[in-house]
């Protein structure tokens, strides 16, 4: 089983750097066809639909539900070879997150659980500001001002990263 943790952006803001998860997984994961029912909590249906609309890929093979996480983790993807991959979303983070932070979190976890992507901590220049190049950056940055304007880039990057 592979486990990915995602932490909230800004928790280490005191030193001016984003919080970074410590669970970088380097090995590839492989998933067989789902052999059990997929459970998608109603709160996330709209985000799954948005993912399919934006990227043209259906995430309906990945289960997702609320599970309280240990701070500072806000989301997790469990990847399996013998059962449905599943995403856990921390309800405490979700309830206070903005729309863009929620999208960032769901798309990131689907990057792991559906597209089987690893973390990517590369940065790129955006009008003189260094910003994450990928939504697979190991922290949430959807609350940052630049996210809205770079959404198309992040969708495209996610598709091309497969
Ligand atoms: Zn992650």
- Domain count for the chain: 1
Structural domain boundaries enclosing 104: 2-9+28-160
Q: Which two tokens stand for residue 90?
A: 């921390």
**Rounded to the nearest whole angstrom, what is the distance from the C-alpha of residue 41 to the centroid of ligand 1?**
20
- Distance (Å) from CA 145 to ligand 1 centroid: 21
pLDDT, tens only, 77-92: 888 877 788 899 999 9
Residue 62 belongs to a domain: yes
- Compute the distance from residue 105 Cα to the ligand 1 centre, in Å: 9
- Asked if the structure places residue 19 within a domain, the reply is no
pLDDT at position 70: 85
Residue 80 within any structural domain of the chain: yes
Residue 118: inside a domain, yes or no?
yes
Q: How confident is the model at residue 69 (pLDDT cuts 50, 70, 90)?
A: confident
The secondary structure element, H or E, covering residue 53 is helix 45-55
Q: Is residue 16 part of a domain?
A: no
26 compared with 85, residue with greater pLDDT: 85
Distance 108 CA to ligand 1 centre (A): 6
Question: What distance in angstroms lies between residue 66's CA and the mean position of ligand 1's atoms?
Answer: 16
ω before 72 within 30° of 0 (cis)?
yes
User: What are the structure tokens assigned to 115, written together?
Assistant: 């597209």
- 106 within a domain of the structure (yes/no): yes
27-42 pLDDT, tens digit per residue, is 334 444 446 789 999 9
């Amino acid at each position: 089983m592979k486990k990915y943790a995602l932490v909230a952006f800004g928790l280490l803001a005191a030193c001016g750097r984003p919080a970074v998860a410590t669970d970088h997984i380097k090995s590839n994961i492989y998933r067989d066809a789902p052999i059990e029912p997929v459970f998608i909590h109603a709160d996330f249906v709209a985000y799954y639909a948005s993912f399919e609309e934006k990227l043209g890929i259906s995430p309906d093979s990945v289960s997702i539900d609320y599970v309280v996480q240990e701070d500072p983790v806000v989301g997790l993807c469990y990847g399996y070879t013998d059962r449905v991959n599943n995403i856990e979303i921390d309800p405490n983070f979700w309830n206070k997150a903005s729309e863009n932070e929620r999208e960032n979190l769901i798309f990131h976890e689907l990057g792991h659980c559906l597209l089987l992507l690893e973390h990517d901590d590369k940065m790129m220049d955006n009008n003189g500001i260094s910003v994450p190049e990928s939504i697979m950056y190991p922290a949430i940055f959807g609350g940052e001002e630049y996210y809205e304007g770079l959404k198309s880039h992040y969708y495209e990057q996610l598709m091309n990263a497969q």
